[in-house]
Structure 1
Amino acid sequence: MSPGDEHRYGVPARADDDLYGGGTRTWLPDRPGDPYGGARRGPRSSTRGLVTVVAVVVLLVAAIAFANRGTSGPQTAGPRGSTGADAASGADGAPRSAPTAATGRQPVTTKAGGVPSGFAHDQQGAQSAASNYAVALGSTGMFQKDARHTLVDLLYTPEAAAKQRGPMDRAYSADFLKRMGLDADGRAPAGQTFVSRAIPVGATVRQYGADRADVAVWYVGLIGMSARASTDPVTSSWSTWTFDLRWAAGDWKIASDSQHDGPAPVPGDDKAATSDQIRQAIEEYGGFTYAR
């Protein structure tokens, strides 16, 4: 997260009308001569009952066959065995939506500097990398110089990292850190907890080539100071983070990135937690390794 984007983290049913009438229809016993009653019907024939049972069985079998059709057939394989659902674009080159369901494959088995690494050289790997990189770049480590330099060197290409260090150091200035309630080293005062998290909601590949991927990550951000006397309480915001990734040194690296606000859902009626509750939640609930 760049400091100019802090407010993306920091600022954080109607019932349908009844379509049917509400009246109740009452059936009265048949009476001789009743023009609406008619003669009492005799019992239905056994043949009609048998036909009904057979029809129900046929419909049930057809429904089961239709439901299983989507999982029984072979899937179109993409790079490194990824399914056709991972494809970035259709025949016309336009971005194509992908399901949010997990693929079931582990994204990585290794970490470097506490950040997942060694992602697959395919579209699924690019999405997993972008999601985890958003988490790292949205963490509190970015507010501390040494940790920030480590993350930048780890996640960006060497050329991009060299360009990023100076501007980032100037952006995370002492004045900026002070506005966030931090000291010059990016640390919170005693008894207070600084919160900065990016939580990916989904990712999509906008463009993909053999050694390049353009991946957008939709996420919700949390930022603020958890303290009873804080003037900057922890709030949430919604943003989209787009990464231009390059395949380099056996992993996906960031060549450039950008952010824009939203899309943000309508806020709910949740009761805001106290500062102590937020602090406790931050301490108790760890993060995830995100996979496509």
Structure 2
Amino acid sequence: MSPGDEQGYSDYMETGHTRTRLPDTDPYGGAPRRPNRSSSKSLVTVVGVVVLLIAAIAFANRGGGSSSDEASTKDGRPQAATTAASGSRPVETKTANIPTGFPHTAQGAQSAAANYAVALGSAEMFNKTGRDSVLQAIITPSGITSSVAAFDEAYTPAFNRSLGLHDDGTAPQGYTFVSRTSPIGTKVTEVTRDTATVEVWCSGLLGLAGENSTNPVTNSWFTITMKLEWVAGDWKIITHSQQEGPAPVPGDDRASSADEMSKAVDEYGGFTYAR
């Protein structure tokens, strides 16, 4: 590790939260749900999907965990620097359209976790070929085989059909499948020279945009906890888990039409996230 990296480790506890860089031309993203006020049936469907997705992530892992967050004052409140952007450039490389090549620092681990959360919640996860590419890019080499098998068992054709998709995870003609995750902030809870546990607070969208969709695009809030390992020159996921919230009080925004939602997904690209 270089002197700069050592400095990154000594300073990390006084930082937190993510910052967002300008959008890339290649959109990627993903994730869960948004409350639909028009139909109790849709709400039941959404709740079922949330449970299934959380179960899928839990099923594909073998643990995780975190320790106390030291980046706070003695009375438990975060320090002023916790939510400030670090100003560090994230990465300039990608693997399977996922940012990779993060610095060997705590900030690098947070940036990796934020971008990996986006990848795990992306529409590519619902297709076998896309899912394998995502996992190859973000999981530790020793964990690839077991992760692929576990996710294959979780993301089944029946699961895709429950979302209104074809068995292979593609959307029916005339519909747009939406699955995006947007990290709101990150927090390191434990770190050693070559491992880090990072929590990523996220907002997500999931659903099928189309005039007669019975699974409209919905929004949800959740936190993903990742244990990362520095291996082969980058941060990779050892384990990860997901839990609901923290969630704000829902606003009174008018729900967009299916056409507006489809256009937004097609026209607005994703971001590369950095601590």
TM range (shorter): 0.7 to 0.9
Percent pairwise identity: 48
Aligned position for 2:198? 215
Q: Measure the CA separation in 2 of the matches of 1:83 and 1:159.
A: 28
**Alignment-derived partner of residue 114 in structure 2:** 131
- State the 1:126 CA deviation: 0.5
181 and 91 in structure 1: CA distance in 2 versus 1, 3 angstrom threshold: closer
TM superposition shift of 1:91: 10
What displacement does 1:113 show?
1.3
- What is the CA distance between 1:78 and its match in structure 2? 3.4
In the TM superposition, what are the counterparts of 1:126-275 in structure 2 within 5 Å?
126-275=109-258
Contact 1:195 1:234 in 2 (8 A): yes
Aligned CA RMSD, in angstroms, stands at 2.3
Partner of residue 14, structure 2: 85
Q: Cα distance 1:177–1:106, how it changes in 2: closer, same or farther (>3 A)?
A: same
Asked if structure 1 preserves the Cα contact closer than 8 Å seen for 2:187 and 2:198, the reply is yes
Q: Structure 1 stretch 155-164 or stretch 98-107: which is displaced more?
A: 98-107
Q: Which amino acid aligns with 1:233?
A: P
Return the offset for 1:90.
5.8
Query: 2:88 maps to what in 1?
Result: 105
Q: If the length of structure 1 is used for normalisation, what is the TM-score?
A: 0.69
Q: Which moved more, 1:208-217 or 1:80-89?
A: 80-89
Residue 267 of structure 1 aligns to a residue whose secondary structure is: coil
Partner of 1:40: none
For the residue of structure 1 that corresponds to 2:249, the secondary structure is coil
Question: Which residue identity is paired with 1:220?
Answer: S
**Contact in 2 for aligned 1:108/1:117 (Cα 8 Å):** yes
Q: 3-state DSSP class of the match of 1:263?
A: coil
Higher mean C-alpha displacement, 254-263 vs 80-89: 80-89
Q: Is the 8 A contact 1:78 1:84 kept in 2?
A: no
Query: What is the TM-score when the length of structure 2 is the normalising length?
Result: 0.74
Mapped contact 1:196–1:221 kept (Cα < 8 A) = yes
Counterpart-to-counterpart distance in 1, 2:190 and 2:218: 33
Cα shift at 1:81: 8.1
Compared with structure 1, are the counterparts of its residues 200 and 90 closer, same or farther at alpha carbon in structure 2 (3 Å cutoff)? closer
Structure 1 unaligned residues grouped into runs of 5+: 1-76
Residue type of the alignment partner of 2:15: D
Contact 1:82/1:124 (<8 A) preserved: no
Instruction: Report the Cα distance in structure 1 between the residues aligned to 2:229 and 2:246, rounded to whole angstroms.
Output: 26
CA distance in 1 between partners of 2:202 and 2:150 (Å): 24
8 Å CA contact 2:117, 2:183 repeated in 1: yes
Give yes or no for contact 2:205–2:219 (8 Å, CA) kept in 1: yes
Contact persistence 2:15–2:71 (CA under 8 A): no
Cα distance in 2 between the residues matched to 1:159 and 1:96: 38
Question: Counterpart amino acid of 2:208?
Answer: M
Report deviation, 1:99.
2.3
- Among residues 94, 100, 121, which one is paired with 2:104 in the alignment? 121
Paired positions, count: 216
1:129 maps to a residue whose letter is A
Give runs of ≥4 in structure 1 deviating > 3 Å.
Answer: 80-84, 95-98
SS of match in other structure, 1:99: helix
Instruction: Assess, with a 3 A threshold, how the Cα gap between structure 1 residues 129 and 172 changes in structure 2: closer, same or farther.
Output: same
